[in-house]
């Protein structure tokens, strides 16, 4: 892992190294968190078990937690469906659930997570409005689907239903989000791509791909079908059975005609399909684009005229977490929102829930490129130091407001979810 520099030129690692001897005393004295000395003495013995998708369950983050906070964070990365199942059925197998908001809609009613006290979150006031009232700006329209703020709050501890407005109790503390679109190989396509409908263009027969995660894949399908003019949904994020049937039928026909090279579930599968040239257009995630580009292969996260399909994730706490471990979990959350992780994630193309603190851990060049949509003034690198862009290049899709301001729908859990999953499985098996 490369050491990231703060604006004053001092690296976090340098600062921490010098402070290591006094960290315990500082924590114990209240200079950092206000916890008593016994907390500082015992914290090194704490191990918190976290699971989630590979998007944010990163070894570098666990290492940094050990350096900065002193306790051990054990991370397990799973696919989205496995994450959902574990959170919903195995509450004693984890301490921290790093999950997406659409997953929360399935998990929260089980009672396996505990409400989190907003008053303990130091940077709560700096969290972007998307997670509080659904609006990027006061004039923003709220997109279809499971928008994070609709499942982000509950009326009171113990409630299994969601609140219609902000309360003092959150289901998840938001951490990461992005505006997703199609990834393309411009060198192999050789012409502009402007619409979601291109995924089913016969021109790309045998060279297209879609992800095999039903709750996300169905949303990509909906963006395509609507762009083709085949279906006008009442709400893409909450389809009727008739809309599901028609959507699946269109894609099943395309599948039988040989449109798709493959269906992927994991990050690596997505990267390899694109990097090899077997696929030239597909559902993709931002770091997968990054991974292809680091191999020196052209790959674009293509802005499309119909807008983006978006998602957001956050940290949830197991209902069984208490005492010292619960204190440590809140300390972890506050550390997470303090900037280092945000800067790390933003170098992969994601957004931090608290951009303001992340900025302190990014150079002016990085911040300008990733957040403001400006031309890079120097080489842009990944968190691991791989080159992503040259000076003069701009981020695909532009600035934070340009990208997140064009969200058409959020990843979602529908009322007809069980029916949708059954139809999805029929599509994959067709």
Q: Is the pLDDT of residue 139 over 50?
A: yes
Evaluate whether 182 touches 281 at the Cβ level (below 8 Å). yes
In which band, very low, low, confident or very high, does the pLDDT at 137 lie, cut at 50, 70 and 90?
confident
**What is the overall mean pLDDT for the chain?**
89
Two tokens, residue 167: 């309360």
Which domains, and CATH codes, for the chain?
46-179+311-362 (3.40.190.10), 182-306+399-429 (3.40.190.10)
Mean pLDDT for the stretch of residues 255-282 = 96
- The phi, psi pair for 295, rounded to 5°, reads -85, 5
In which band, very low, low, confident or very high, does the pLDDT at 141 lie, cut at 50, 70 and 90?
confident
- Continuous segment of H or E residues that includes residue 100: strand 96-100
Tell me the helices (H) and strands (E) count for the chain, helix number first. 17, 18
Q: Which tens digits make up the pLDDT trace of 343-371?
A: 999 998 999 999 999 999 999 999 999 99
Q: Which tens digits make up the pLDDT trace of 284-321?
A: 988 899 889 989 999 999 999 999 999 999 999 999 99
CA 31 to each of CA 23, 27, 118, 154, 405: distance values in angstroms, whole numbers, following the listed order:
10, 6, 21, 32, 39
Evaluate whether 330 touches 120 at the Cβ level (below 8 Å). yes
pLDDT for res 6: 53
- Continuous segment of H or E residues that includes residue 209: strand 208-211
Q: Is the pLDDT of residue 104 over 90?
A: yes
Closest Cα partner for 215 from 58, 429, 52, 423? 423
Mean pLDDT for the stretch of residues 392-406 = 95
Residue 121: other Cβ atoms inside 10 A = 18
Q: How far apart are CA 347 and CA 5, in angstroms?
A: 13
Residue 55: other Cβ atoms inside 10 A = 22
pLDDT for res 407: 94
Q: How far apart are CA 137 and CA 387, in angstroms?
A: 33
Per-position DSSP letters for 118-186, written without gaps between them: GGG-TTGGGS-GGGTTS-SSTTPPPPEE--GGGGSB-SSTT--S--SS--SEESSEEEEEEEE-EEE-H
Per-position DSSP letters for 299-335, written without gaps between them: -EEE--TT-EEEEEEEEEEETT--HHHHHHHHHHHHH
Two tokens, residue 197: 């409908």
Q: How far apart are CA 224 and CA 218, in angstroms?
A: 10
Q: Which tens digits make up the pLDDT trace of 11-58?
A: 333 333 333 333 333 333 333 444 444 556 678 889 999 999 877 888
> For residue 236, what is the DSSP state?
G
Closest Cα partner for 373 from 387, 385, 356, 389? 389
């Amino acid at each position: 892992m490369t050491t990231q520099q703060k604006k004053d030129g001092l690296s976090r690692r340098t600062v921490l190294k010098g402070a290591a001897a006094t960290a315990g005393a500082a924590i114990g004295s209240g200079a950092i968190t206000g916890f008593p000395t016994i907390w500082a003495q015992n914290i090194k013995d704490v191990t918190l078990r976290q699971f989630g998708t590979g998007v944010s369950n990163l070894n570098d983050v666990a290492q940094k937690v050990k350096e900065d906070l002193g306790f051990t964070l054990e991370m397990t990365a799973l696919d989205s469906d496995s994450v959902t199942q574990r959170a919903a059925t195995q509450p004693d197998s984890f301490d921290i659930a790093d999950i997406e908001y659409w997953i929360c809609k399935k998990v929260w009613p089980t009672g396996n997570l505990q409400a989190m006290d907003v008053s303990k979150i130091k940077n709560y006031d700096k969290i972007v409005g998307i997670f509080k009232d659904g609006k990027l700006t006061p004039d923003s329209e709220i997109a279809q689907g499971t928008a994070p703020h609709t499942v982000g709050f509950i009326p009171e501890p113990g409630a299994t239903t969601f609140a219609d407005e902000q309360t003092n109790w959150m289901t998840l503390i938001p951490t990461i989000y992005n505006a997703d679109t199609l990834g393309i190989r411009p060198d192999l396509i050789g012409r502009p791509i402007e619409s979601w409908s291109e995924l089913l263009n016969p021109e790309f027969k045998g060279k297209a791909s879609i992800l095999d995660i039903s709750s996300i894949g169905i949303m990509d399908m909906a963006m395509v079908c609507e762009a083709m003019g085949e279906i006008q949904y009442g709400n893409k994020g909450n389809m009727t059975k008739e809309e599901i049937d028609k959507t699946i039928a269109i894609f099943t026909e395309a599948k039988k005609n040989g449109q798709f090279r493959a269906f992927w579930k994991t990050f690596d599968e997505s990267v390899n399909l694109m990097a090899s040239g077997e696929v030239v257009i597909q559902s993709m995630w931002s770091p997968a684009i990054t991974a292809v580009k680091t191999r020196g292969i052209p790959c674009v996260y293509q802005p499309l005229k119909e807008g983006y399909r978006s998602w957001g994730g956050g940290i949830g706490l197991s209902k069984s977490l208490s005492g010292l471990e619960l204190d440590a979990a809140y300390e972890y959350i506050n550390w997470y929102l303090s900037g280092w992780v945000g800067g790390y994630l933003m170098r992969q193309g994601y957004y931090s829930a608290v951009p303001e603190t992340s900025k302190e851990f990014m150079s002016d060049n990085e911040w300008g490129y990733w957040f403001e949509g400006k031309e890079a003034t120097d080489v842009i690198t990944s968190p691991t130091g791989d080159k992503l862009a040259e000076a003069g290049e701009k981020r695909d899709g532009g600035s934070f407001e340009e990208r997140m301001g064009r969200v058409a729908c959020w990843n979602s859990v529908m009322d007809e979810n069980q029916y949708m999953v059954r139809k999805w499985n029929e599509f994959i098996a067709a």
